[in-house]
Chains A and B, each alone.
Chain A
């Protein structure tokens, strides 16, 4: 019994010892496993979350900013040209390529970017025909995340990881990458400026820069006025010089007189300073082309064509003009009216008011004031006759124009030889003097008169009343609204 107990005791001790050994052995295995996995598979034990990879989202705003930056080019034998980079790249293949060397374009882009990223950037502009403008751009291997590929910094510093953004424009593809911000992850602005050779603004001598009106006020289309996301104005006109002009300046002055007349006769005149009138500055590309286009028309010496003829719709030459305007980045569809101006227009009263006359047809619903009393009057709709809807601005004897009168002594006689209009035609679709107007101390006739010899033209009282009810012609007390009332561009 005793020996049995002893042996049992040994058995217990033996079992405990074996258990301890087993536990030690097991702990050793686990410890070894942990050590091995720590050494060879560290990622397995603890997830190292690469927060930087979460931050590698694409920020295309610098590329967008660049495309909206104004570009001023001086081309041989031509005045300066101002447009946004996006506009420029849009027309580059259409016209400019021969005139503007690729190196000059790179210089202009560099002038903008090197003050931000120094030399730590690259860009590429690809055109649909396969050609491209390339600055320091090196294609990265297809494999891997392209945004994580490295590019060398200019000073031979360690490679930095570039951030890439691509903007697909209808007429080009703009790719941009910079590694300056990768540098900033580790270093200070000063260190990165040194590493990337960033020129400070003072170093570049801003007065001598040719970008974006830095040295002089822009006199034309700056980037913000024609960019795709620009503010939408209620009236947008584009005046296109046509025919032969002695100079761009002459076209600008002529355009200004016509625009002044336009504004002076609308309620907008009371907030004139808020109405934009900008003179485009792209004549180097347009002048001859437009001259050619308009010379192909029936009578390019006159600007008395109806608005429809200038609506760039059906006519072959109009299509040509549309194409040209489109190529120049003017977006013809956005304008309420594209109107040709010819040298000498402003000296002729009839030509001076033609823009407003035609605009009134399309925008205010005003009709031509014709004599129409002999006909049923249902075509021109300008005479009160049974069964016809009269025009909103029809002739009225109360307004000094009685189309029924043939008495030369009648103060309201309005049509035919009795009114001094030759040839002596009375009827639908022929001219009359138009309703009488007294304005600014002068007696005149309605701008909507069909009389091609009209002088002292203003809107008649009936028309003025209608205009005063049109909201977008009112000068709002709102600080912003008036600025959005109208914009007039004069293409050179």
Chain B
């Protein structure tokens, strides 16, 4: 009798133990939801690449200023542009047009990363942006109206 009771007790213990599986499961599920809920609020991965690109774009636009808004046509040069940007994570292309004269300077990075710009939305593709500025261009001592097209790409980290 005693043995039987003991046997029944063992079965009960097992059943009781099995019950803790769904208990734990349903305890953990809302806990995980709650934690993910707070993580969603508190932790955000901010992609600052567009801001980085805009800042480099601003810098690239001012690399050859001899005065604010006035670009020295003779100084436009790819190597100088690379020096000015001084970052391997960035490639840039400047296209300065003054009246009917045009000059282009671009970094090596731009050349090999630029084809990837078509995948701009992809996760690891470089971020590409472009902008245009009206500039005054000092061409051999006289100031002419001109346009500076800036294309910039930034490697995503």
Which residues of A come within 8 Å of B, CB atoms? 9, 12-13, 16, 19-20, 23-24, 26-27, 30-31, 34, 44-47, 49, 51-52, 54-55, 59, 61-70, 84, 111-113, 115-117, 180-181, 184-185, 188-189, 201-202, 206, 209, 211-214, 217-218, 222-224, 227, 229-230
Closest to A206 in B: B99
Indicate if the CB atoms of B142 and A70 lie closer than 8 Å.
yes
Contact with A along B116-155 (1 / 0, CB 8 A): 0000000000000111111110100111110101000000
Q: Nearest chain A CB to B143's CB is how many angstroms away?
A: 4
Task: Give the residue of A19, A31, A55 whose beta carbon is less than 8 angstroms from that of B23.
Answer: A19
Indicate if the CB atoms of A27 and B129 lie closer than 8 Å.
no
10 tightest Cβ-Cβ pairs between the two chains A and B = A65-B69, A23-B26, A64-B69, A223-B143, A62-B134, A112-B145, A116-B134, A65-B136, A206-B99, A116-B147
Bound-complex Cα distance A66 to B69 (A): 8
Q: A26-B30, A54-B51, A212-B145 are in contact. Are A229 and B68 (CB under 8 A)?
A: yes
Indicate if the CB atoms of B69 and A68 lie closer than 8 Å.
yes
Q: Which positions 20-59 of chain B face chain A at CB distance < 8 Å?
A: 22-23, 26-27, 29-30, 33-34, 37, 40-41, 44, 46-48, 50-51, 54, 58
Q: Nearest chain A CB to B129's CB is how many angstroms away?
A: 7
Q: Is B113 an interface residue (CB 8 A)?
A: no
Closest to B53 in A: A55
Indicate if the CB atoms of B58 and A113 lie closer than 8 Å.
no
Closest to A85 in B: B136
Indicate if the CB atoms of B141 and A224 lie closer than 8 Å.
yes
Closest to B70 in A: A68
Q: A23-B26, A30-B33 are in contact. Are A117 and B132 (CB under 8 A)?
A: yes
Closest to B65 in A: A61
Closest to A202 in B: B100
Known: A49-B46, A224-B67. 4 other contacts (CB 8 A): A12-B19, A181-B132, A217-B142, A230-B67
Bound-complex Cα distance A117 to B23 (A): 66
Task: Give the residue of B48, B51, B62, B144 whose beta carbon is less than 8 angstroms from that of A61.
Answer: B62
Indicate if the CB atoms of B19 and A16 lie closer than 8 Å.
yes
Bound-complex Cα distance A68 to B144 (A): 9
Bound-complex Cα distance A39 to B68 (A): 48
Q: Which residues of B contact A59 (CB under 8 A)?
A: 58, 133
Bound-complex Cα distance A223 to B44 (A): 50
Bound-complex Cα distance A51 to B135 (A): 26
Indicate if the CB atoms of B132 and A184 lie closer than 8 Å.
yes
Indicate if the CB atoms of A20 and B23 lie closer than 8 Å.
yes
Bound-complex Cα distance A55 to B131 (A): 12
Q: A45-B41, A116-B134 are in contact. Are A61 and B69 (CB under 8 A)?
A: yes
Indicate if the CB atoms of A223 and B26 lie closer than 8 Å.
no
Q: Which residues of B contact A202 (CB under 8 A)?
A: 100
Task: Give the residue of A13, A51, A65, A184 whose beta carbon is less than 8 angstroms from that of B50.
Answer: A51
Task: Give the residue of A20, A47, A214 whose beta carbon is less than 8 angstroms from that of B144.
Answer: A214
Indicate if the CB atoms of A116 and B133 lie closer than 8 Å.
yes
B interface SS class:
mixed
Bound-complex Cα distance A64 to B135 (A): 8
Contact with A along B60-87 (1 / 0, CB 8 A): 0110000111100000000000000000
Q: Is B12 an interface residue (CB 8 A)?
A: yes
Task: Give the residue of B12, B44, B54, B134 whose beta carbon is less than 8 angstroms from that of A46.
Answer: B44
Q: Nearest chain B CB to A376's CB is how many angstroms away?
A: 54
Indicate if the CB atoms of A213 and B40 lie closer than 8 Å.
no
Task: Give the residue of B19, B67, B97, B134 whose beta carbon is less than 8 angstroms from that of A117.
Answer: B134
Q: Nearest chain A CB to B121's CB is how many angstroms away?
A: 12
Q: Which residues of B contact A113 (CB under 8 A)?
A: 134
Q: Which residues of B contact A223 (CB under 8 A)?
A: 70, 136, 143
Q: Nearest chain A CB to B23's CB is how many angstroms away?
A: 6
Indicate if the CB atoms of B143 and A69 lie closer than 8 Å.
yes
Question: Among the interface residues A65, A111, A112, A218, which one has the most CB atoms of the partner chain B within 10 A?
Answer: A65
Bound-complex Cα distance A11 to B23 (A): 16
Bound-complex Cα distance A181 to B134 (A): 11
Indicate if the CB atoms of B22 and A20 lie closer than 8 Å.
yes
Q: Which residues of B contact A49 (CB under 8 A)?
A: 44, 46-47
Q: Which positions 85-99 of chain B face chain A at CB distance < 8 Å?
A: 97, 99
Indicate if the CB atoms of A65 and B70 lie closer than 8 Å.
yes
Q: Which residues of A contact B69 (CB under 8 A)?
A: 61-68
Indicate if the CB atoms of B30 and A27 lie closer than 8 Å.
yes
Task: Name 14 interchain pairs, CB-CB below 8 A, sorted by A.
Answer: A12-B19, A27-B29, A51-B47, A52-B50, A62-B69, A65-B70, A68-B143, A112-B145, A184-B130, A184-B132, A214-B99, A222-B143, A223-B70, A223-B136
Q: A23-B27, A51-B51, A61-B61 are in contact. Are A212 and B142 (CB under 8 A)?
A: yes
Bound-complex Cα distance A222 to B70 (A): 13
Q: Which residues of A contact B61 (CB under 8 A)?
A: 61
Task: Give the residue of B23, B37, B100, B136 whose beta carbon is less than 8 angstroms from that of A23.
Answer: B23
Indicate if the CB atoms of B26 and A27 lie closer than 8 Å.
yes
Bound-complex Cα distance A189 to B149 (A): 9
Indicate if the CB atoms of B99 and A181 lie closer than 8 Å.
no
Q: Which residues of B contact A209 (CB under 8 A)?
A: 99
Bound-complex Cα distance A44 to B41 (A): 7
Q: Which residues of A contact B33 (CB under 8 A)?
A: 27, 30-31, 34
Bound-complex Cα distance A260 to B29 (A): 93
Bound-complex Cα distance A213 to B12 (A): 102
Indicate if the CB atoms of B144 and A55 lie closer than 8 Å.
no
Bound-complex Cα distance A52 to B48 (A): 10
